[in-house]
Amino acid sequence: MSGRATPGDPRGSGQRESEDAGGKSELRRFIEPYRRGDSLLIRSTREFLAQPRFVDVVGHSQEVWDDAAMLRERAGIPLIDGLYIAYASYVRCSALITNDNRMKSVLGVEVIALSSLL
Domain spans in the chain, listed from the N-terminal domain onward: 1-57, 62-117
Rounded Cα distance between 5 and 19, Å, is 15
Rounded mean pLDDT, 36-59: 80
pTM exceeds 0.85, yes or no: no
The span from the CA of 4 to the CA of 23, in Å, is 13
What percentage of the chain carries pLDDT values higher than 70? 73
- Residue 95's pLDDT is 92
pLDDT single digits (tens) 97-107: 988 888 889 99
Query: Which amino acid does the sequence have at 50?
Result: A
Q: What is the pLDDT of residue 8?
A: 41
Query: Residue 6: its pLDDT value, please?
Result: 36
CB of 30 closer than 8 Å to CB of 12: no
For residue 7, pLDDT beyond 80:
no
